[in-house]
Structure formats: structure tokens, C-alpha cells
Structure 1
Amino acid sequence: MLPPGPKAPSAFQTIEWIVRPTHFLRQAQAKYGEPFTIRTAWSDAPMVLTSDPEEIKRAYAAPPDVLQGGDAADFLEPFVGRNSLLVLHGDEHLKQRRLVLPPFHGEALRRWSDTISTLAHAHLDTWPTGTPFRALPRMQELTLEIIQRVIFGSQDAELKHALRSALDLTQSTPNLIAMSLVQRDFGPYGRFLKAVERIDELVYARIDQPSETESILDLLKQSGATREELRDQLVTLLAAGHETTATALAWALERLARHPADLTADPQPFIDEVLRTRPVLSITARKTLQPYTLAGHTLPEGVYVAPCIYLANRRGKPIPFGGGTRRCVGAAFATLELREVLRAVSGRFRLRPPRAQGERMRRRSITLAPARGAEIIADPLA
């Protein structure tokens, strides 16, 4: 017997999951307690959500023959591919993870600080002053340029446009609802698949070019990966490597406009609080491969145990990047981007909001983003 949860049909729960994600989670928690069960079109089985720190710790530590990651991201496969880190599990996931992890840590990570700062200041040069603008699309543009530098060693305007064309289709709430409930080769989902075909053309062309730099693409090529495997990992890193960080930066700027602070010295405490109160992802789910006990409930094989980042963060210590062997491989790199960009902004502008009320959280693609795109006004300091 699964824990109780909302009784509405899956389609209605999916709409709530997209349109009012945090309200949906808070309401279910308040009405049914924890854990509680939800059903959406984003997963092939019920999801049992928990925010209990000890249960989350236990779920992250569970061996792969008990709780399996990857299956919960199957809905992303048409975009990221079947070889993506997001959908792989077991030994193959660990193999690919070990391959892409080194460039995002240690000395390899530290050498990107100056590049990130330089690109950030170049973008700040284009900001309008004294008038409202949306920070989210600007942060998407910046973080996509940064991750392209890391992956390819250079920027690629055509590929950047193709990626944003696909992802922007998921930024519209009506589109996201339609794509979640009606996955057919027409309408928004059909346009999305066409956009992915264009991404494939450009990524495969980049893979086939001779290598001239020391980049992640070169590293992956040396591993002996197939063209399809290379394509899937590159698209995953390009998309996940900029969309989530851009959303976190947009939230940071939206919060900074309402809670001014000097972040030029040490922005990390501010970053930690933003990631706690405005997490970019809502859950990190694992599928049960055998009966699993959660808070006194014995869950059957084939359902999802879903640590709920949003609800857990409201209880205390944040877990913005997940945990266990599926913790975000780019967590350290994303944190570096947040620090460098916020330092640059704080050194050049005083931000203020165009209206008093803060922005609600809306689902954009897989992220929880500012509903109005993080509207801010930037006033030059001098």
C-alpha cells in the first residue's frame, strides 16, 4: 500500500506540477503528511516524496540494486539521448560520470575563474540601465557561452541558437503542459523534435571536426565513445550545464534586487541561502528494484522514492545538487559561476525590483524558475 496523496487524475496533477509546483507540494504535504504519493505524466509510475533528512540520506546511500537512478529522467531521453548521464544507471552511469567529472573539479576547475569573470563583464556591458529587464534569458545566454567554452574550447553561435530554440519551447507554460500530456509528432512536441534534429546535425558536425584544443570533447573522444554516445553526453552537458545555472543566477539576481548586499568579497552565504529558498530542481527520484521501507511504509518494486529538494530545504540544510552517486557532476562548476557572476554584478550595479512583490516559482523545462523571468532594474554604481 502506497502512502496517501492527491486523488486527482494524473493529468490534473501534472498541470499543478507545472503551473503551481511549490503550492502543489506544500498542499500535499500539509494534507497527507509525509511521505505522500503523487502521479504525473513525467514518470511511468507513482512517486513517493519525502523531505525527512534521514530518509533522504538513506535513499542517496541505497545500493543500485535497491534504488536505481536514471529511470525518473526517461522523459528527457528524446532530447538528451539514451546514453545520457541523466538516464544511464548502474556501472555504465558510473563509467560516464568518472569520465566527465575531472574537468569540473580541482585545478581544472580553478583555471576557469578568469574566463567566467571576463565573459560575465562582457555581458554586463550590454545590460540596459534604469529600466526593467528580464535577467533569466540574459543568464541563459551567458551560461551557455561559458559551457560551450568548456566543452568545445570555443563558442558556436549556430549551436547556441539551436539549443535555445529547443529549450525555449519548454519555457512556455501552455507548451510544457501540451508536451507533457500529448507527446505526438505535431504541435509543440513535434516542433520540439524538429529542433532536436537541428541540434543533432550541428553536434555531429562538431564531433567530426578535427580537434585543435584541450576540451571535454577531446577527452570524450579519447575514451573511445561512439558518435552517438558523444552526441548524448555533449547535449546533456550543454543543456544541463547552462539551464540550471542560469536559473539559479536569475533567482540570485531577483533576490539581490529585493535584499541588497555587497557580494564582491564573499558571495557564498548569499548563494547558499538562494539555493535553499529557491532551489532549481524540485526532486531527485530513484526507482525501487525491490520492496523498500520508507517511514513505516513498504513500497513495492517499480515505484519511485523521490527526495523532495524543495520541501527538504524548508526544513534546514539545503541539498540543491542532490546526493549519492547521482549528485550533479557540475555542482562545483555551477557554484564557481554563481560566485564570479555575482561578484561582477555587485561590483558594477545596484539592483532594484520593478515591483514590490517577489516572483513566484514556475516550472520551465525541468527547473523551478522565476515566473516573470527575474525582472530587475540595474543602476550603475559609478
Structure 2
Amino acid sequence: MLPPGPKAPAAVQTVEWIVRPTKLLRDAEARYGDAFTLRTAYWDAPMVLTSDPDAIKRVYAAPPDVLQGGDAAAFMEPFVGAKSLLILHGDEHLRQRRLVLPPFHGQALKRWTEQIRAITHEQLDTWPVNTPFKALPKMQELTLDVIERVIFGTRDPELKQALRAALDLTGSTTNLIAMSLIQRDIGPYGRFLKAVERIDELVYARIDQPSTGDSILDLLRDSGATRAELRDQLVTLLAAGHETTATALAWALERLARHPTDLTQDPDPFIDEVLRTRPVLSITARKTLQPYELGGYTLPEGVYVAPCIYLANRRGRPIPWGGGTRRCVGAAFAQLELREVLRAVSERFSLRPVSAEGERMRRRSITLAPARGAEIIANPLA
């Protein structure tokens, strides 16, 4: 038996999930309680969401023969591929995770600090001053430069353009609705598939180039991965490794413009509050492989159970990076980027909002982004 939830058809709930995601979540929690069921075109089965802290701990601690990760991200397979970390589960997911984790964790992070600062100041040199602009595309450009350096050792303007062409198609609300409800090789979805073909062409060209000896690509090559496996992991790291961080940075700048704070010394408390109140992802889901108890209900096999990051954070128990064996592999790296970029901005600019009204959260693909692109005005400090 599933918890109650909105009665609207799946197509209507899909549109709500895209157009008014946070209102849908708040209204459902207010009406149905800690656990409720949504039905959308994104998933092949109903999804039960929970914001209860104890229930979320149990979900993240559940063994893989009880709750399975990966299936909930199947709608992204046309882009990231079947061998993506986001799609894999079980032992194969853990094996691939262990391969890509080291460059994003521990002592390895120190080597990237100066590069992040250098790339950040290059980007800040291009900011228009004393005039409105949107911070989100600026942050997308910055974080994509950074992750390209980490993955390939160099930047690739053609690949950057191809990635943004595909991802920007999902930034339009109209496109996203059409792509979610009409997955045919026509219209926005057809253009999206063509954009992915261009990404594949460029990524495979990089895979076939000689080794540089100092990149994630080289590390994955040494693991014996096939070309197709390399493609899927590289596209996943390129997309997930910049889009989510760029969105978090855009929110941070949107908030900083409205709540001026000196971030040159210790930006971490500010970052934590931004990630709590403006989480980039709304859920982290698993699929039930056997009956599962949640909130007084016995969920049947084959449905999804999802800790709701947005609602859980509103209760003061932030989980911005997910949890368990599927916790974001690049969390420490993203935190480093957030820290260094915000320090650099605070060193050079004071920010003002373009509008007194804060920006609401709007879905761009899987992220919850500032609806107006994080509009700010940057005033040089010197």
C-alpha cells in the first residue's frame, strides 16, 4: 500500500514537477504528511517521498538487495549512458566510484586550489560592472572550465559548446515539458539527441588522443575501461561536475547580493545555509527490491522511495549531497569550488540585487535553479 498523494494525472504532476516544483512538494507535505506519493513521466513507477530524518537515515543505510540506486536516474540514460555512475548500481557502481573518487577527495584536492582561483579570476575579469547580468551562465562557464581541466588536463572550447548546447535545451521550461512528455525523435527531444551525438563525437576524439599522464581520463584508461564505458563516465563527470556546482554558486551569489557578508575569511557557514535553503537537487531516490516499511506503510517491490532534500532541509537537517554509497562523489571538490569562488568574488566586488524580490526555484533538467538566472549587479571594490 502506498501513502496518499496528489490525484492529478501523471502528465499534470509532471508539469507541476517542472514548473512549480517546490510548491508541489510543500503542498503535498502539508496535505499528506511526511510521506506522500507522486506519479510523473520521469519514472516508470510511483515515487514515495519522505522528509522524516529517521526514515531518510534508514533509506541511505539500506543494503543494495533492499533498495537499489540507479534505476531512478534511468530517464537520464540517453545523455549520460548505460554505464554512467548515475545509472549503475551494486558492485559495478562501487567499482567505478572507487576509480573516480581519488582526484576529488582528500589530499588530492590541494593541487586544484590554485587552478580554481586562477580560473575564477579569469572569469571575474569578464564580469560587467555596475550593470545587471545573470550569474548562472557565468558560473556554468567557470565550473565547466574547471572540470575540463581536471578530466582532460586541458580546456576544449568545442566540447564546452556542445555540452552547453545540450544542457541549455533543458533550461527552457517549454522544452523540458515537451521532452518529458513526448520522447520522440522530433522537436526539442530530437534536437537534444542530435546535441548528444555531437558530444559523443568530441568525447570519443578525446578518448582516442594520446595520454597526457595526469588526468582522470588517463586514470580511467588504466582501469581497462572500454571506449563506451569511458564515454559514459566522462560525460557524467563533465555534466554533473559543473552544472550542479554552477547552480549552487548562482544561488550563493543571488543570496549574497541580498544579504551582504564578508566571505574572504570563512565562507563555510554562508555556503552551508545556501545549500540548506536553496538545495540544487530536490530528491535522491532508490527502488524497492522487496517490500519496504516507510511511515506506517508497506511499500511493494518495484516502486521508488526518495528522501526529499528540499523538504528535509526545511526541517533543519540539511542533506545537500545525498547519503550512503551514492553520496555525491564530487562533494568535497564542489565545496572547494564554492569556497574559492566566493572568496574571490568577495575580494573584488560588492553585489547588489537587480530586483528586491528574491528569485524562486525553477527546474532546469534535474536542478533547482534561480528562475531569473541569478540577476546581480557587481560593483568593484577598488
Question: What TM-score, normalized to structure 2?
Answer: 1.00
Structure 1 residue aligned with 2:159: 159
Structure 2 residue aligned with 1:42: 42
Structure 1 residue aligned with 2:281: 281
Instruction: For 1:307 and 1:70, locate their aligned partners in 2 and report how far apart those are by CA, in whole Å.
Output: 15
After superposition, the C-alpha distances for 1:315-355 in whole angstroms (9 at most, x for unaligned) are 01210000000000000000000000000000000000011
Q: What SS does the aligned partner of 1:111 have?
A: helix
Instruction: For 2:284 and 2:23, locate their aligned partners in 1 and report how far apart those are by CA, in whole Å.
Output: 18
Q: What SS does the aligned partner of 1:57 have?
A: helix
After superposition, the C-alpha distances for 1:191-249 in whole angstroms (9 at most, x for unaligned) are 00000000000000000000124100000000000000000000000000000000000
Structure 2 residue aligned with 1:309: 309
**Within-5 A mapping of 1:189-200:** 189-200=189-200
Is residue 2:258 matched to residue 1:224? no
Structure 1 residue aligned with 2:69: 69
Structure 1 residue aligned with 2:124: 124
Structure 2 residue aligned with 1:175: 175
Instruction: For 1:279 and 1:195, locate their aligned partners in 2 and report how far apart those are by CA, in whole Å.
Output: 28
Instruction: For 2:104 and 2:110, locate their aligned partners in 1 and report how far apart those are by CA, in whole Å.
Output: 9
Instruction: For 1:99 and 1:142, locate their aligned partners in 2 and report how far apart those are by CA, in whole Å.
Output: 25
Amino acid paired to 2:371: A
What's the CA shift for 1:266?
0.5
Structure 2 residue aligned with 1:239: 239
Q: What SS does the aligned partner of 2:24 have?
A: helix
Question: What TM-score, normalized to structure 1?
Answer: 1.00
**Contact 1:153 / 1:213 at 8 angstroms: preserved in 2?**
no
Instruction: For 1:341 and 1:34, locate their aligned partners in 2 and report how far apart those are by CA, in whole Å.
Output: 36
Instruction: For 2:370 and 2:94, locate their aligned partners in 1 and report how far apart those are by CA, in whole Å.
Output: 33
Instruction: For 2:203 and 2:146, locate their aligned partners in 1 and report how far apart those are by CA, in whole Å.
Output: 17
Is residue 2:264 matched to residue 1:264? yes
Instruction: For 1:212 and 1:256, locate their aligned partners in 2 and report how far apart those are by CA, in whole Å.
Output: 39
Instruction: For 1:244 and 1:213, locate their aligned partners in 2 and report how far apart those are by CA, in whole Å.
Output: 28
**Contact 1:129 / 1:380 at 8 angstroms: preserved in 2?**
yes
Which stretches of structure 1, 4 residues or longer, exceed 4 Å deviation after superposition? none
Q: What SS does the aligned partner of 1:287 have?
A: strand
Instruction: For 2:41 and 2:325, locate their aligned partners in 1 and report how far apart those are by CA, in whole Å.
Output: 26
**Within-5 A mapping of 1:364-375:** 364-375=364-375
Structure 1 residue aligned with 2:290: 290
What's the CA shift for 1:34?
2.0
After superposition, the C-alpha distances for 1:4-26 in whole angstroms (9 at most, x for unaligned) are 00000000000000000000000
After superposition, the C-alpha distances for 1:130-187 in whole angstroms (9 at most, x for unaligned) are 1110000000000000000000000000000000000000000000000000000000
**Within-5 A mapping of 1:329-348:** 329-348=329-348
Q: What SS does the aligned partner of 1:369 have?
A: strand
Is residue 2:320 matched to residue 1:325? no
What's the CA shift for 1:48?
0.3
Q: What SS does the aligned partner of 1:136 have?
A: helix
Instruction: For 2:257 and 2:86, locate their aligned partners in 1 and report how far apart those are by CA, in whole Å.
Output: 34
More deviation in 204-213 or 20-29?
Answer: 204-213
Structure 1 residue aligned with 2:90: 90
What's the CA shift for 1:356?
0.4
> Unaligned stretches of 5+ in structure 1?
none
Instruction: For 1:339 and 1:9, locate their aligned partners in 2 and report how far apart those are by CA, in whole Å.
Output: 43
Structure 2 residue aligned with 1:140: 140
After superposition, the C-alpha distances for 1:42-88 in whole angstroms (9 at most, x for unaligned) are 11100000000110000000000000000000000000000000000
> Unaligned stretches of 5+ in structure 2?
none
**How many residues in Structure 1 have an aligned counterpart in Structure 2?**
382
Is residue 2:78 matched to residue 1:78? yes
Is residue 2:196 matched to residue 1:201? no
CA-based RMSD: 0.5
Structure 1 residue aligned with 2:106: 106
Instruction: For 1:91 and 1:337, locate their aligned partners in 2 and report how far apart those are by CA, in whole Å.
Output: 30
What's the CA shift for 1:367?
0.1
After superposition, the C-alpha distances for 1:275-325 in whole angstroms (9 at most, x for unaligned) are 000000000000000000001100000001100000000001210000000
